[in-house]
Each structure stands twice: as C-alpha cells, then as structure tokens.
Amino acid sequence: MTIYKDHPLKIYNSLSNEKEIFTPIQDGHVGMYVCGPTVYSNVHLGNVRTFLSFDIIYRYLLHLGYKVRYVRNITDVGHLVDDADSGEDKIAKRARLEQLEPMEIVQRYTVDFHDILQKFNLLPPSIEPTATGHMIEQINVIQNIIDKGYAYESNGSVYFDVAKYSEDYDYGVLSHRDLIHTLDNSRPLDGQSDKRNEQGFALWKRADPHHIMRWPSPWSDGFPGWHTECTTMSTKYLGQRFDILGGGMDLKFPHHECEIAQGEASTGHAPVNYWLHANMLTLNGKKMSKSSGNNILPDEILAGDNPVLSKAFSASVTRFFMLQTHYRSIMDFSNEAILAAEKGYDRLMKAINSLSKLEPGNRSTLDIAGWEAKCYEALDDDFNTPILISHLFEGVTYINQLKDKSAILSATDLEHFNKGISTFVFDVLGLEMRSGVYDSYAEKLDGTIKLLIEIRNKVRADRNFTLSDQIRNRLAELAIKLNDSKEETTFNY
C-alpha cells in the first residue's frame, strides 16, 4: 500500500537545524545510510538506542509505501583510538589485549551486534558493507580527491587539505562551527606531523612495521582513514547524492563533517540532502562510561544482571521505554523509569489483547478516523514516537470504554480500530506481545477483581460502606475503575 503522498513528512535536518518537508530525490524511493558500529567490543545500550531510532524511521518509510534501500556499514578497520589520525587501531588494540587475530575480534563482535539487534526486534538493513571489503573502492576515492587538488601525499600517508577545500566550500556547514577562523589562526606543524596543518584529516595512513592490518596502495602499505569508508560505501550503493544519512549525535563532528568535505571534493556537490542525528543515552543522569562503571549492557537488562536494576526486563519493554523519548532528545535510563515503562507497556498490551474479543454495535460513538489521523500526524512530525504513544493510550481509554459499554463501535470501525492500533504498535514501533502471557494474566486478574466485587457487594448489603469505599479506592489506586449501576458493578483497567 502506497500512502506517502497523503502524508507530507517533516524531518529535522541537522544541516539547516530546521524541520523540512521530506522530498526524496526519486519519487517513491529512499536511499538511507546509517553509520554502523566499530566492532571491537560488545554493543552497549546507547548504541541500541541509536540504531533503534533509525529502525523506527526505516519502518515508517516502509509503512508509507516507499521503496527503501537502507545501508548500514560495519567498521572493521581504520578507526583509531580517540578517533584520532595517529595511534592504535581500536580493533588491533583489542586483538592484542585478547591475544587474537584482528578478524577474530571483528567476527566475535559483529555476531554480538547482530544478536543484540535481533533480540530488540530491529529490522536488518538492505545492505551491510564492511570497510575491509571495499579497499579498492576506497583507494579510488582517495586518488580522485588527490586529482581534484583537495588531498596530498606525505611520507606514505594521504591527508585531506582542509585549508584548500575551505577556499571553495564551507568546512563546518554541518556542525555550524567557525572552522575558517580556526584555520586562519593555525600555523604549520613544523615537522611534528606529516600534515600541513592540524585541521587536515587522514584519508590513508602508512602502516608502521608492527601494524597487522595493512593493504597495498599507490602511496604505501597501510589502511584507510575512518571517514573514507562511509563516503566510499554510501556512494557505491546509493549514488553520488542520496536522501538520508544518519548516526549518533557524537558523529556530527568530525565524522559527518568530513564525509561532506570528501563528497563535495570528489563530486563537486553535497552528498546528502537530509542529515539526521540521534541523541545520547545517560544512566542515572550521568554519561555512560565503561571506565567509571556507570554503564549497562543490553544483555544485563534482559538478565537483570546489573546493580542499577531491581529485576530483568524484556527487550520489548526496553524498546518501549526508549520510544517514550524523541530520538533527538537526551534520554536518561534508570530503574525507576523502566519500571514505569513496563507498567505502561503491560497496560497497552492487555488492552490490545482484549480488543479482539469485543463485540461490535450497530453504530459508533468514538471517532476512530480522527484518532488514527492524530497518530499519523505524530509520526509525520519528525517521527515523534512519544506523541504517538500518548495517542495509543487514548486508544486504550477507548478500549476500556468499549469493555464497560460506555461506548460502542460499528463492525467496520471496530475492525479499522483493531487494524490501526496493531499497525502502529507492532509494525511501526516494532513492539512484540509475549504469546499467551496476557491471556493468562488477564484471566487471573479479572477473576480476582470479580471476587473483590462479590465481597464488596456483600459488605454493601451489610451497610459497611466504609469498607466498600476502601475496596473501590484501593482498586482505583491500581488504575482499576469500578462502575456501579442498579443492575451490576462492572470494571475496567
């Protein structure tokens, strides 16, 4: 089903710092590249949050009927410690510490990455290229930039000439930094480096004799710079200009800024129309850090194996928790916050589970079309999942009204409502319902509430209204509402 023409999508573009109407280069098709992981350690929860953000974007574009080519790379060489142009490769360092071959490290943590994302129900990308699988293409891109006059070879390494590039283009256009002023006040490095100025960045690095990961090139045996791979692989699979490039907020500078520079230097025009960035995840109000111990891994959440957690939480509850914060906002993880999210998640799933058992009426007293329109408006406004979730809970209220017969829906509207809420919850948000859990839970809970109603009816008959009110009020504190009438007492939750 193609409905994208009925939904003008607004996307926040980091390039303009504004929401813009999304217009793909080719009607009905979207090219999206997301910077993937450097596979030298276990994926952490902040990584999951970033890739989950783009999973929602991917899912919604597919739902609207776009044909999406989603490319997400694997960095398996060239990413040096501290994101620098010199020093040790992160993968090679981990290989040395664990006394393994670098490609053993790559394989181990690539498998971990895929395993975690599968547990959290992320859709796989269309293409997942690796840096080591595109060496020839990277060398060709580097040579092209040299030929255009925006890079130079020095002692076997190749550096991007930011000073030369800045004469023709705006280096800093994405990060909105005054890098020209920085360049004007910088000075040559007087032999301290192979670079002509500090702002330049490596496109190719000559390997030291002890460096294991190395490939032949026209300049030296060495390896590509971290920024080179994304320019190479994105343009190979999506073309010299494509629609969306995304990643974590920490990649905006220097990584994405350098990608723009490489693209413009190579082709003469900007490589990407829309730049999207997901914000960071904090833990108990502080930045996550492995060294400080303020850190949590996805598997620790699933097992409850972390001091900050009071219990284990399912992947779908954790996913729901993350979607309650907009992808551009900082999100703080705490035990209290995910406990609250679990309650909301259970309430939503119980309501959806009961919806299929409701009988239609001969007319409708609820505006389902208006409710659905609000859900779409939230997603069309820069993929606003928190607002969408608030509308889903409005849908839960509708379900409770249908259950206590204070509202009715025609057969057509009931089917439309059931299909709509399922689409938003399961297809777009990617949540999952644990099979059989809510049927069993709901049956036991309903039986318990009915027993309490019987006890309450007896104490009311005995004119013990104080105890009767206590039962009603305590249930209300648990979000269980009793509805008294002349005929019977019903309930909803």
Whole-number Å distance between alpha carbons of 284 and 249: 20
> Does pLDDT of 192 surpass 80?
no
Residue 238 corresponds to which tokens in the numbers above? Answer: 């999506």
DSSP bridge partners of 492: 481
Which of 363, 344, 347, 355 has the alpha carbon at shortest distance from 419? 355
- Give DSSP secondary structure letters for 75-88: B-S--BGGG-SSS-
Q: How does the average pLDDT of the chain come out, rounded?
A: 92
* Whole-number Å distance between alpha carbons of 457 and 254: 69
At residue 186 the predicted structure's pLDDT band, cuts being 50, 70 and 90, is very low
What integer pLDDT is reported at residue 115 of this predicted model? 98
**pLDDT attached to residue 314:** 96
Using an 8 Å Cβ cutoff, are 20 and 272 in contact? no
Q: Quote the pLDDT of residue 340.
A: 97
Which are the contacts of 78, defined by CB distance < 8 A and separation ≥ 6? 89, 131, 205, 223, 224, 225, 226, 228, 229
3-state class (DSSP) for residue 320? helix
Amino acid in the structure at residue 18: E
Q: What is the pLDDT of residues 106-161, one digit of tens each?
A: 999 999 999 999 999 999 999 999 999 999 999 999 999 999 999 999 999 999 99
Check if the beta carbon of residue 368 is closer than 8 Å to that of residue 409: yes
Using only C-alpha atoms, what is the Rg of the chain? 28
| pLDDT greater than 90 at residue 53 | yes
pLDDT value at position 328? 98
- The DSSP element (H or E) to which 278 belongs, if any, is strand 272-278
What's residue 187's pLDDT?
A: 41
Number of helices and strands in the chain (H, E): 16, 15
Pick the range with the lowest mean pLDDT from 254-268, 279-293, 469-483: 279-293
What is the structure's pLDDT at 438?
56
Task: Decide: helix, strand or coil at residue 269.
Answer: coil
Band of residue 291 on the pLDDT scale cut at 50, 70, 90: low
* pLDDT class of 461 with cuts at 50, 70, 90: confident
Determine what percent of the chain falls in helix, strand and coil, rounding each to the nearest 5. 50, 15, 35
Q: What is the mean pLDDT of residues 381-387?
A: 98
Across the range 87-108, mean pLDDT stands at 92
In whole angstroms, what is the distance from residue 93 CA to residue 347 CA? 47
396-410: pLDDT as tens digits: 999 999 999 999 999
| Residue 170 DSSP class | -
Residue type, 464: N
Mean per-residue pLDDT, 201-211: 92
Q: How many angstroms separate the CA atoms of 263 and 265, rounded?
A: 5
pLDDT tier for residue 191 given thresholds of 50, 70 and 90 = very low
Whole-angstrom CA distances from 336 to 41, 283, 285, 308, 339 are 28, 11, 12, 10, 5
Which pair of tokens denotes residue 91? 């993968």
CA dihedral 417→420→421→427, nearest 10 degrees, is: 160
Residues 422-443: what's their mean pLDDT?
80
Residue pLDDT, tens place only, 9-46: 999 999 999 999 999 999 999 999 999 999 999 999 99
> 179: pLDDT confidence band, cut at 50, 70 and 90?
low
Catalogue the E-assigned strands of 45-173: 67-72, 151-154, 157-160
Nearest to 201 by CA among 170, 250, 230, 159: 159
**What confidence score (pLDDT) does residue 230 get?**
96
pLDDT in tens, 303-325: 999 999 999 999 999 999 999 99
CB distance 432 to 121 below 8 Å: yes
Task: Say what the pLDDT of residue 185 is.
Answer: 43
In the block, tokens 């999207």 appear at 276
Residue 175 one-letter amino acid: S
In sequence order, which residues have a C-beta less than 8 Å from that of residue 314 and are 6 or more positions away?
A: 302, 434
The pLDDT, as a whole number, for residue 56 is: 98
pTM value is 0.88
DSSP string, 29-60: EEEEEE---B-SS---HHHHHHHHHHHHHHHH
Asked which of 268-277, 461-470, 479-488 is least confident by mean pLDDT, the reply is 479-488
- Sequential DSSP letters for 199-227: T-EEEEEEPPTT-SS-B--SS-SEEE-HH
The 10 Å CB-count burial string (b at 16+, else e) for 400-416 is bbbbeeebbbeeebbeb
**Residue whose C-alpha is closest to residue 303's, from 119, 99, 91:** 119
The predicted structure's pLDDT at residue 190: 41
